[in-house]
Amino acid sequence: MVMPPTDSFWRGKRVLLTGHTGFKGSWLSLWLARLGARVTGVALPPATEPNLYHLAHVDKTLDSYYCDIRVEKALVPIVRTVLPEIVIHLAAQPLVRASYRAPIETLTTNIMGTTHLLEALRAIEGVRVVVIVTTDKVYKNSGPSDSFSENDALGGNDPYSASKAACEIVTDCYRASFLGDRAVAVATARAGNVIGGGDWSADRLIPDAIRAWSSGHTLQVRRPNAVRPWQHVLEPLSGYMSLVEKLWDNQPLAGAYNFGPPAHETATVREVLELARAAYGHGEVAYGDGNEGPHEAESLILDVEKARTLLEVTPKWRLAAAVERTMQWYGGQAEGQSARMLCEADMAAYQSVGV
């Protein structure tokens, strides 16, 4: 079992975190602060109301800049001021269905935003590790597959997937052409579907369920049989930090890494919702026939052997535990418990596993 990210490594490290106002970014900001890192966040204001960033007072844990990464050179003065040692890039337009409604915004944010960050990093010294977070959807998914490994072909049938596959290629380019020769370890992280308390994004399974059930409505589900590599948000975040720690003194390990559950822990949308409904205590669901809405892959399973072997990263919480933790978080928050304390409790519980 991999040990949690270590205080001794992160304490005092200068970390630039893009996308810190989002769901994953807020959780990662809190965790890095818990570890003693000196974090600077760069992002747009939170995209939802409510949002974890405000509820958990994440702004009190870091230095925050509101910045549109689509604007060329917008990141340059921030990067020159911060002089980060570690960069974790989460800022993105992260939703598949939203990418159909706003393809240009998705493509410019995800492709050119990543390019602008990497270009800004070329202009400074002292960067040791850069992790560009993409998605499990970067793979060319033409139909049923056992699982996707890091060496499989990239592709994208929707604007979101295509934009993230392009991010992978851009990152490879900057690693090979500019940053690798300067001893900067540049990696990409491809994570499966995340769940956890504090996500209120549209078109995501658990947030949609919470909105429907808390208001007494029936949740409408388009593709109940779609298979995804579900995991609690702390799993990939732990993986990203473990990747940074490993690359700090091992630049040759830089490359692409999948983060997700083992294949036998993947599950259908229906299976996840039935676990969520049991943990929540009530809630009605109407399952569709899978033909509604824009195209999405029916099955997506990741091969996570590389992360397990080279990084010693293995999931700590099985799916049932991850869903239960998630629903308990929302239940506690609805009852008036502090979002910050709920996050702290989950992080403490997660870090205690295997210790």
**For residue 138, which of 166, 110, 109, 118 has the smallest C-alpha distance?**
166
Residue labelled with tokens 């996570």: 304
Task: For the chain, state the CA radius of gyration.
Answer: 19
Written as six digits, the tokens of 81 are 């001021």
Written as six digits, the tokens of 50 are 């409510």
pLDDT of residue 142: 80
Given a cut of 70, whether residue 280 has pLDDT beyond it is yes
For 274-294, what is the mean pLDDT?
Answer: 89
Express the helix, strand and coil content of the chain in percent, nearest 5 each: 45, 15, 40
* Percent of the chain with pLDDT strictly greater than 70: 97
Q: Tell me: the pLDDT tens digits for 15-36?
A: 999 999 999 999 999 999 999 9
For 63-79, what is the mean pLDDT?
Answer: 98
Residues 252 and 62: their CA atoms lie apart, in Å, by 31
**For residue 254, which of 263, 243, 264 has the smallest C-alpha distance?**
243
pLDDT of residue 2: 46
pLDDT of residue 355: 59
Q: Tell me: the pLDDT tens digits for 286-341?
A: 999 876 667 777 899 999 999 999 999 999 999 999 999 999 999 999 999 999 99
Which residues touch 136 (CB under 8 Å, ≥6 apart)?
A: 148, 190, 191, 192, 193, 229, 258, 260, 300, 302
pLDDT of residue 146: 73
Neighbours of 64 (CB within 10 A): 20
For 155-184, what is the mean pLDDT?
Answer: 97
Residues 35 and 4: their CA atoms lie apart, in Å, by 10
Provide the pLDDT confidence category of residue 4 given band limits of 50, 70 and 90.
low
pLDDT of residue 19: 99
Q: Tell me: the pLDDT tens digits for 196-254?
A: 999 999 999 999 999 999 999 999 999 999 999 999 999 999 999 999 999 999 999 99
pLDDT of residue 354: 75
Given a cut of 90, whether residue 145 has pLDDT beyond it is no
pLDDT of residue 291: 66
Residues 272 and 274: their CA atoms lie apart, in Å, by 5
Residues 179-182: contacts with CB within 8 Å, 24+ apart?
Answer: 179/118, 179/121, 179/122, 179/127, 179/130, 180/251, 180/254
198: left (phi over 0), alpha (psi -120 to 50) or beta: left
Computed over every residue of the chain, the mean pLDDT equals 96
Q: Tell me: the pLDDT tens digits for 89-106?
A: 999 999 999 999 999 999
What structural domains does the chain harbor?
A: 7-352 (3.40.50.720)
Pair 220, 286: CB distance under 8 Å? yes
Q: What DSSP character marks residue 264?
A: G
**For residue 157, which of 267, 300, 294 has the smallest C-alpha distance?**
294
Which residues touch 348 (CB under 8 Å, ≥6 apart)?
A: none
For 135-161, what is the mean pLDDT?
Answer: 92
Neighbours of 202 (CB within 10 A): 12
pLDDT of residue 1: 39
Written as six digits, the tokens of 324 are 């239960």
Sheet holding 63-66, edge to edge: 63-66, 38-43, 14-18, 86-89, 129-133, 185-191, 256-259
Q: Is 285 helix (H, G, I), strand (E, B) or coil?
A: strand
Q: Write the burial class of residue 175 (CB in 10 Å: 0-12 exposed, 13-18 middle, 19+ buried).
A: buried
Pair 301, 227: CB distance under 8 Å? yes
Provide the pLDDT confidence category of residue 176 given band limits of 50, 70 and 90.
very high
Residues 294 and 68: their CA atoms lie apart, in Å, by 28
Q: What DSSP character marks residue 79?
A: H
Residue labelled with tokens 């020159």: 80
